[in-house]
Structure 1
């Protein structure tokens, strides 16, 4: 089954979403860490009140995590799950 075109397509679709999203998030995360270590003056700059850029970007990490989760669920429901279900049914001989 792993050599089948359907499985290869499923794997390709999955990787086309997951790898770029993972790289983008890691770059975003390490940028935050690097800024926290090397740009302390910038991270300590107040945006408004006692809210600093460090806090804004740190909270942005949480927002980004939830956004990526939302996007992945939507992607999986539209692209991955129907293909996986089709492969499962084929492997089980069409039994639901």
Structure 2
């Protein structure tokens, strides 16, 4: 390709990045990632704030040596796995097919 041809149309990557399909893909990703990140950070902040400002509540025994603080801490791990599972399902349905089409476009040079 000539240098002038590349300037007028851009590389295939620049063309794909400027395409409506790529903008839609980026939007789909952000529709999941931003709200889920905010929800997880709020959940984690609640845990930290309760541990800092409500230690008596967090020390409340539930069964034996298991208290509310321990349960909240373990639920942090559970929520991480739940979010991961939700993301994989969302990506399989909403992101991966569109990304595959864009990759085919790039690799095929079309």
Q: TM-score range by the shorter chain?
A: over 0.9
- Whole-angstrom CA distance in 1 between matches of 2:22 and 2:70: 43
Residue ranges of structure 1 left out of the alignment (5+ in a row): none
- Whole-angstrom CA distance in 2 between matches of 1:94 and 1:4: 14
Counterpart pick for 2:61 among 24, 40, 46: 46
Give the TM-score normalised by structure 1.
0.94
The number of residues matched between the two structures is 95
Larger radius of gyration: 2
Give the TM-score normalised by structure 2.
0.82
Once the two structures are TM-superposed, the CA of residue 11 in structure 1 deviates from its matched residue by 0.3
- Residue deviations 1:48-88 (CA, integer Å, cap 9, x gap): 22110000100000000000001111111111111000001
- Whole-angstrom CA distance in 1 between matches of 2:41 and 2:27: 21
Number of the residue aligned with 2:107: 92
Query: Secondary structure of 2:46's partner?
Result: helix
Residue 36 (1) aligns with residue 36 (2): no
Residue ranges of structure 2 left out of the alignment (5+ in a row): 1-15
Number of the residue aligned with 1:4: 19
- Whole-angstrom CA distance in 2 between matches of 1:3 and 1:26: 32
Once the two structures are TM-superposed, the CA of residue 94 in structure 1 deviates from its matched residue by 6.5
